[in-house]
Amino acid sequence: MVRLTLDLIAKNSNLKPRKEENVLQYLKKITHINFSDKNIDAIEDLSLCKNLSVLYLYDNRISQITNLNYATNLTHLYLQNNCISCIENLRSLKKLEKLYLGGNYIAVIEGLEGLEGLRELHVESQRLPLGEKLVFDPRTLHSLAFLFLQKSLSILNISNNNIDDIRDLEILENLNQLIAADNQLLHVKDLEFLLNKLMKLWKMDLNRNPVCLKPKYRDRLILVSKSLEFLDGKEIKNMERQFLMNWKASKDAKKTSKKKNSKNEDTHNSCNSKGNKNKQMGLHQTQKLLQSEGDYQPGEKTV
Instruction: Give the other-Cβ count within 10 Å of 90's Cβ.
Output: 20
- Final residue before a domain boundary, out of 241, 259, 279: 241
Same domain, 180 and 208: yes
Q: How many CA atoms lie within 13 A of 268 on its CB side?
A: 6
Same domain, 119 and 261: no
Same domain, 255 and 174: no
For the cut 50, the answer to whether the pLDDT of residue 302 exceeds it is: no
pLDDT in tens, 257-280: 777 766 656 565 665 655 555 556
Domain enclosing residue 42, as ranges:
2-241
Same domain, 49 and 18: yes
Same domain, 236 and 103: yes
Same domain, 12 and 132: yes
| Residues 247, 241 contacting (CB under 8 angstroms) | no
Average pLDDT, the chain: 87
Over residues 117-130, the mean pLDDT reads 96
Instruction: Give the model's confidence band at 303: pLDDT under 50 very low, under 70 low, under 90 confident, else very high.
Output: very low
Instruction: Give the model's confidence band at 11: pLDDT under 50 very low, under 70 low, under 90 confident, else very high.
Output: confident
SS3 string of the chain? CEEECHHHHHHHCCCCCCCCCCHHHHHHHCCEEECCCCCEEEECCCCCCCCCCEEECCCCCCCCCCCCCCCCCCCEEECCCCCCCCCCCCCCCCCCCEEECCCCCCCEECCCCCCCCCCEEECCCCCCCCCCCCEECHHHHHHHHHCCHHHCCCEEECCCCCCCCCHHHHHCCCCCEEECCCCCCCCHHHHHHHHHHCCCCCEEECCCCHHHHCCCHHHHHHHHCCCCCEECCEECCHHHHHHHHHHHHHHHHHHHHHHHHHHHHHHHHHHHHHHHHHHHHHHHHHHHHHHHHCCCCCCCCCC
Same domain, 125 and 169: yes
* Total count of domains within the chain: 2
Q: CATH number of the domain that 221 lies in? A: 3.80.10.10
Instruction: Give the model's confidence band at 256: pLDDT under 50 very low, under 70 low, under 90 confident, else very high.
Output: confident
pLDDT in tens, 21-75: 777 888 888 999 999 999 999 999 988 999 999 999 999 999 999 999 889 999 9
Same domain, 59 and 76: yes
Is 301 part of a structural domain of the chain?
no
Is 302 part of a structural domain of the chain?
no
Same domain, 184 and 210: yes
Same domain, 88 and 219: yes
Instruction: Give the model's confidence band at 225: pLDDT under 50 very low, under 70 low, under 90 confident, else very high.
Output: very high
pLDDT in tens, 182-192: 999 999 999 99
Instruction: Give the model's confidence band at 296: pLDDT under 50 very low, under 70 low, under 90 confident, else very high.
Output: very low
Report the predicted TM-score, pTM, of the whole model to 2 decimal places. 0.82
Same domain, 74 and 109: yes
